[in-house]
Amino acid sequence: MSVLDDIISGVREDLSVRTAEAPLAQVRARALDRAPAADALGALRGDGRTLSVIAEVKRSSPSKGALAAIADPAALAARYEAGGAAVVSVLTEQRRFHGSLADLDAVRTSVDIPVLRKDFTVEDYQIWEARAHGADLVLLIVAALSDAQLEHFLGRTHELGMNALVETHTAEEVERAAAVGSRIIGVNVRNLKTLDIDRAVFADLARRIPQDAVTVAESGVRGIGDVEEFAAQGARAVLVGEALVRGEDPEAAVAQFRAVPVRDLPGLQQR
């Protein structure tokens, strides 16, 4: 069993508990009672000149273990926003990342910018649940979904006025993401089966992403040098967790990353 398979198995077990406690009808009602979702796509497109930053509230990871205690996720998110983050990402997977929906609730009340619910989406329920807790985006991992699931889940997010960060790892997954009309496509340079990092994969996959989609570089950011490299290779946004939660001044780090200019690359496909 791969690491991704193992994580999803745990996600399904935890999901079964939540669905028993809060039936879909109840979660749907809460989701539909929320104020409209924020425009995450517009936030990530930004001014078109400098990089957008998705700053992550992340306590732990399968590859590194404990990263930071983060006693006050709301305060951390507020610092991200003050630094100019376009989006705050909140891990809600509890077994490997030690996140929770309570973290999502806390962050939602502390910032005005869009919030990404970062989890392993395998059921429609989770998208309704994300909106019920105020998320504006969800994560859809192409490697974890069939084409039919990917299209359905993406449609559900749009139906609820939300957006999805559609995560890819291979050229074939980029093609699948583009085929269903994904507007925000991430390239994760971490192999979710082995957890190895290979930053070299980003440049090739970024060129395959349709020009009208927002290209997001995920994982592997150690500092400003990696951010600049991803931007030079076509990233319009970068998702950063570990480097921020382990750093001394997350607000200043976000501001530094946010100032990196983006670069237009030739040869990007059109839809």
Known catalytic residue at 193: no
Q: Of these residues, 93, 129, 218, 242, which one is catalytic?
A: 218
Known catalytic residue at 118: yes
Known catalytic residue at 123: no
C-alpha–C-alpha distance, residues 8 and 14, integer Å: 10
Q: Of these residues, 163, 188, 191, 242, which one is catalytic?
A: 188
Q: Of these residues, 58, 110, 242, 251, which one is catalytic?
A: 58
How far is C-alpha 114 from the geometric centre of its chain's CA atoms? 11
Quickly count: other Cβ atoms within 10 Å of residue 69's Cβ: 10
- 224-232 and 250-258 are packed helices; what angle lies between their axes, rounded to 10 degrees? 20
Beta bridge partners of 61: 65
C-alpha–C-alpha distance, residues 241 and 217, integer Å: 12
Known catalytic residue at 228: no
C-alpha–C-alpha distance, residues 224 and 222, integer Å: 7
Q: Of these residues, 118, 129, 173, 182, which one is catalytic?
A: 118
Q: H helices within the chain, ranges in order?
A: 3-21, 24-32, 40-45, 73-83, 101-110, 124-132, 147-159, 171-179, 201-206, 224-232, 242-245, 250-258
Q: Of these residues, 56, 173, 242, 251, which one is catalytic?
A: 56
Known catalytic residue at 61: no
Q: Of these residues, 60, 61, 89, 219, which one is catalytic?
A: 219
Residues classed as catalytic: 56, 58, 118, 167, 188, 218-219
